[in-house]
């Protein structure tokens, strides 16, 4: 009987089996508890470091470069504008200018009279840098008192207020409107030639040959439709004998106190009528010596 009791006393050793009590050890496994360490991974916390990366800080430099580039372009544009304005003033003075016909001495090739809407002509200032004026050329020249003392030109100014405004604007870019010493006539004879008037048909003679001048006009208000006799006159080398197309109303190389003009006085060749608009066109520069009347 005593042995049996000892058997029952040994049962509590089964209640203290370590298997059930080992579960807490499983609860402390590292896998679940490692989650906090994942939350402290460096990748998410590195975002502030990305915010301080140098790439975004280059934007001010790029903006500065863009600003400098705009300034360079603006400077170049300004330079182009200034050069253009300079050329507008220089080129007309060297190449072409506009002149107002000062009198009626070139009627009806060119129209001009006191108080009228006179023609404005474009004068080529470059052509005579490469060649000398030829017979038939309509030229603008300057003849002061040391060259001519007799002239029909009066410096009365422009009557049209609109044209006066254009003249004012034009003078700022080299478009020239003549003073009282600027003349426009036609070349009849050049240096070395002998000119006189007239033959039996009232024609001018150069080197013994009568000229064919389809542009000649006689003003009814100026008297008889005939040319005045003169000459013979031998034109000195380096000079030009000039006459107006309006032969009975032009004071030119025929007039006392005038005579031939020096080549140095020539400003250029009149090529176009540019105003008034209804008279726009080329200016006739027929060489009267190239078509003698006897050959027609």
Q: Is residue 269 annotated as part of the catalytic site, yes or no?
A: no
- Please, what sign has the CA dihedral across residues 246, 107, 271, 153? positive
Considering 103, 105, 250, 253, which one is annotated as catalytic?
Answer: 105
User: Which spans in the chain are helix H?
Assistant: 2-9, 12-15, 18-21, 23-27, 30-33, 35-39, 42-45, 47-51, 59-94, 161-171
The gap between the terminal CA atoms of the chain, to the nearest Å, is 179
Q: Is residue 185 annotated as part of the catalytic site, yes or no?
A: yes
| Those residues with Cβ within 8 angstroms of residue 88's Cβ, 6 or more apart along the chain or in another chain | 173, 174
**Got the DSSP string for 110-158?**
S---TTS---EEEEESSGGGTS---TT-EEEEE--TTT-S---------
Considering 185, 250, 269, 285, which one is annotated as catalytic?
Answer: 185
Catalytic residues: 105, 185
């Amino acid at each position: 009987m005593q042995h049996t009791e000892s058997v029952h006393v040994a049962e509590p050793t089964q209640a203290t089996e370590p298997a059930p009590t080992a579960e807490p050890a499983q609860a402390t496994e590292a896998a679940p508890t490692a989650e906090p360490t994942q939350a402290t991974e460096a990748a998410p916390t590195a975002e502030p470091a990305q915010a301080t990366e140098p790439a975004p800080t280059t934007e001010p430099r790029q903006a500065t470069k863009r600003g400098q580039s705009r300034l360079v372009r603006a400077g170049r544009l300004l330079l182009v504008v200034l050069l253009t304005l300079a050329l507008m003033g220089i080129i007309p003075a060297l190449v072409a200018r506009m002149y107002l016909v000062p009198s009626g001495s070139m009627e009806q090739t060119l129209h001009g009279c006191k108080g009228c809407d006179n023609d404005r002509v474009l004068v080529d200032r470059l052509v005579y840098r490469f060649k000398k004026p030829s017979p038939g050329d309509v030229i603008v020249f300057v003849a002061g008192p040391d060259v001519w003392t007799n002239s029909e030109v009066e410096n009365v100014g422009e009557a049209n207020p609109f044209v006066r405004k254009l003249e004012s604007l034009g003078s700022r870019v080299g478009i020239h409107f003549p003073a009282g010493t600027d003349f426009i006539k036609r070349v009849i004879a050049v240096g070395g030639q002998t000119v006189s008037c007239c033959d039996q048909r009232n024609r001018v003679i150069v080197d013994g040959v009568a000229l064919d001048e389809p542009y000649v006009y006689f003003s009814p208000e100026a008297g008889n439709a005939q040319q005045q006799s003169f000459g013979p006159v031998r034109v000195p080398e380096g000079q030009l004998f000039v006459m107006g197309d309006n032969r009975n109303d032009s004071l030119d190389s025929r007039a006392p106190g005038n005579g031939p003009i020096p080549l140095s006085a020539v400003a250029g060749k009149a090529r176009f009528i540019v105003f008034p608009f209804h008279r726009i066109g080329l200016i006739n520069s027929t060489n009267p010596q190239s078509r003698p009347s006897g050959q027609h």
